[in-house]
Each structure stands twice: as structure tokens, then as C-alpha cells.
A = this chain, B = another copy of it.
Amino acid sequence: MQSQSARFLSLFCLIGLWIAASAARGDPSVLPSPVNLLEPFWRELTQGPLLYHLGRTTGRVVLSFLLAMAAGTALGLVMGTRPALDKWFDPWLVVFLNLPALVLIVLCYLWIGLNETAAIAAVVLNKIPNVAALVREGARALSPDLKAMATVYRMRPSTYLRHVVLPQMGPVLTGAARSGIAVIWKIVLVVEFLGRSNGIGFQIHLYFQLFDVPMVLVYSFSFIALMLLVEALMLQPAERRATAWRRA
């Protein structure tokens, strides 16, 4: 497909820029060229623990993402459509929205213990208010005309949600999902380096302590590569299908 080849070309340009920048800088310990990352990447992949850590991190990201999106969407929908409840929960939302990730993570570890539950809870609690804040805005903008139509024709609530509400929330939800995964993965990194014994975040911190920039980049980009794949193979096709009506 033409769009896929454009993606590749554009990625190559980005890599080209990077190579140029790295050559200009001339200090591979601070700004290594991507070419120099290939060999350590390959080593970590085939002999090293990269796949293991990537797996752990991905597992945490996926689980937290699903939990946070589900809870955040529900909360946002309720707050966006019920002004009375919104008034009540809005201050809570602001508080949790602005509670620093670090603080929440540390508190979770302290209260729940230094374990996986605490890690996931920390990420989910961090992300829910974010999703909710976005979804709430989308819910506030729901078309009153379509709602009237659905009321008059007594549409089933589940049908209404799926076929009337969700498509209207499309932009907000895909936006929240896309920036959501990114934010979640960033929080997972912090969670991992503060109190887990595996995962990309753990490795990045390890190499950061050793001041080994190339390895830090190898681990960062292994997840980014995964996300590029997910984006190209899942998110974009799904989005294309969901917004087909707009381009028709």
C-alpha cells in the first residue's frame, strides 16, 4: 500500500536525520549513531534478556491500558452527561489528575507493598483521570438531536452506547487511546525503576546508572518499534474502519 511505503520512507528520513546529528556531534557515548545501536540491539535480542523485559513491560502496559481506558471512559461518560455528578467528582478528578506520578507510585508501593498489584494500581490510578478528563469533554459535546432521536425510538441503552455515543466519541477516544498508551508506558517505566525487578524501565534505569546511553536507547527503541508496529497493524486499520463514513 502506498501509505505504508510513505511510513517507511518517513522513518528512514528520521533515521537519516539522526545519523547526521550523531555525525555532527561526534561523541557516540552521548549521541550514538543508530548504526552503532544495531549490534548491541541484536545481541540483547538474541542472547540478552531484551525479549523477557519487553514482554514484562508490554504485559503491564496492556493490562493497565485496558483497565484505565475502561474505568476512565465510564467515569468520563458519567461526568460528561450528568452535570450534578460532575460537580461532585470534578475536584476529585483535578486532585488525582495532578497527583504526581512519582508520589502516587511511591504511595501505592508503600500502601499495597512492593509487588505487581501495587505497580498496576499505580499506573491505572495515574491514567484514569487523564482518560476521564478527555472523555468527559467528548461526552459534553454529544449531539442532543441524536439523543432525542434515540429517546423517542426507545433505543436499547447498549445499542445507544455502541452505535450513537461511541462513534461521536471517536476522535476523543482514539486520541485518548493513542496518547494513553504512550503515557501509560512512560508511567510503567517509572514504576519499574522504582520498585520492580524486571521490565524495560528497570533496564533503562540500570543502564542510565551506568551512563550507557547506547543501551538506554536500545531498550527505549525496542518498545517504540513495537508501538510503531501496533500503530501500523492495529490502531490505524481500526481507526480507518471507524472513520470510513467520514471520507466516503
Q: Is the CB of A137 within 8 A of B227?
A: no
Q: Is the CB of A91 within 8 A of B7?
A: yes
How many copies make up the complex? 2
Q: Does A165 count as interface, using CB distance less than 8 angstroms?
A: no
Q: Is the CB of B137 within 8 A of A174?
A: yes
Q: Which of A35-43, A150-158, A182-190 contacts B (4 or more CB under 8 A)?
A: A182-190
Q: Across the two chains, which residue of chain B brings its CB closest to A189?
A: B100
Q: Does A117 count as interface, using CB distance less than 8 angstroms?
A: no
Residues of B near A88 (CB, < 8 A) are 6, 9-10
Q: Does A172 count as interface, using CB distance less than 8 angstroms?
A: yes
A228 with B91, Cβ < 8 A, contacts A141-B246, A172-B137 known: yes
Chain A interfacial positions (CB closer than 8 Å to B): 3, 6-7, 9-11, 14, 25, 30-31, 87-92, 94-95, 97-103, 106-107, 110-111, 129-130, 133-134, 136-138, 140-141, 170-172, 174-176, 178-179, 181-183, 185-186, 189-190, 193, 201, 204-205, 208, 213, 216-217, 220, 223-224, 227-228, 231, 243, 246
The 7 A-B residue pairs whose C-beta atoms are closest, nearest first, are A137-B171, A134-B175, A137-B175, A6-B87, A97-B182, A141-B171, A130-B179
A-B contact list, 16 entries, CB within 8 Å: A7-B90, A14-B92, A31-B111, A94-B228, A100-B186, A102-B193, A107-B213, A133-B175, A133-B179, A134-B175, A137-B171, A140-B246, A141-B246, A172-B175, A175-B176, A190-B190
